[in-house]
Every structure is written in C-alpha cells, then in structure tokens.
Amino acid sequence: MAVLVVSGTGTEIGKTVVTAAVAAVARAAGRSVAVLKPAQTGVGPGERGDADEVVRLAGDGVTPVELARFPEPLAPDTAARRAGMAPVGPGEVADAARKLAADHDLVLVEGAGGLLVRYDEEGGTLADAAALLSAPVLVVAPAALGTLNMVTLTAEALRARGLAQAGVVVGSWPDEPGLAERCNVTDLPRVAGAPLLGAVPSGAGALPAEVFRTRAAGWLAPALGGTWDAEAFTAAIG
C-alpha cells in the first residue's frame, strides 16, 4: 500500500508511537517513508510535533510533513477557528499525500484523535481524506475496558463510507494486563471485522530510538512488515 491512514479511537492512545513503529519497520526493509500530519494541535512554534516524534523514533530516513499547526489542544476545526487560522480540509490532505506517494514507497497519514474529528467548517474528516485517497485505515485502540465499543463504532463508520480497514493495533499494551485486556485481545478482531495487527508495549515511546527500531518488528504483524503473531500472543497472555 502506498498510503496508509492511521486513525485512533480517541486521543492519547499511542497513535504516534504505532505510526513510528510502522515507519521503523518499513525503513528497516529499505522502503522510503513519509509521515504526513495534516493538523498538529496543542504545540507551539519551535516545539516538536507528532511527525517529529515519528522521525526521532523511526530514523532520519523518514520525511516529516505537517500541513498546519494550531496552538490549542483542541479538535483541528475548533483550534483553527480559535486561532483565526485557515483550517486544513480533506482535499488538501489528499493532495499532499499523493505528492508524497510519488516520491516515497509508503506514506503514513496520522490523524488527530478519532476518525470523525472535524478538520474544517464543512465537517471534513480524516475519513473523507481516506476516501479521496482510496486508502486503507489502520485503527489504533487502547487495550482496556471500553475499547470494544469504540472499535465497533469506528468499524461501522468505515463500512458506512466504503472504506477498507487494514486492521487494529493496540497502542499501549500494559505490562500486567487484567482480565478485560486479555479478553479484548480475542474480541477486538471480532467486533472490528478486521485482524488484530499488533500490540505495542506501554512506554515504548520512551525507549532509546535505537532500541525502539530494533524491537518494532516484534510488535507488528506481517501485514505491517513485522513478525508479531496474534495467535501466539493470545495464547501467551492466557
């Protein structure tokens, strides 16, 4: 796939770290990678954004592109309006991704929050950008109680729009999973109607970059270029 859209079921669930892991695995395989962040919110001028964090973790061979930056940590449409700045619509996102795809083997489009967060005053969303690109969507989800409902809603939204779901990755797998987390590993692919494609350990983003790159393949399934096995993982956690 030339373009892969990475969306979450919410905020602060490990979406950027998962994006970095996918980028690191692709780079290790010799593929050229670009990461596109349509709208970075909650970050001021000169501060590191999500695309910069992907480069830090995955390596300098990743091309970072940020279309807009808004200072307040809000939904992109709201943040743009409050800042008196022009929003970024799905068409701009799709155009930027196509240009990057012309020069890169893989373009990762990392959204802000969930699939249907508004990007502009017309109600444009990451789903609309994915539709314009005919790109599959990788859903990043938490492991804990409540995730099944969020993944189900996201999957229904994707199907309603005729969008392909590449699969689900758990964005932050706890060191000591409880009953809900262990059961969710079995239930997530069922409610998503798509395969479970990985589980990134909690705290992975704090690892030294060299260690992160070495371990990334073990967190992602072969469909994402890694070696992680869902069946073996499920059996190991009981």
- Shortest CA distance to 204 belongs to which of 54, 26, 65, 62? 54
| Catalytic-residue membership of 99 | no
What is the identity of the amino acid at 200?
A: V
Q: Which of 13, 20, 36, 37 is catalytic?
A: 37
Burial 111-120 (b: 16+ CB within 10 A, else e): bbbbbbbbbb
**Residue 201 Cα distances to 39, 115, 205, angstroms:** 26, 23, 9
Question: Among all residues, which ones are annotated catalytic?
Answer: 37
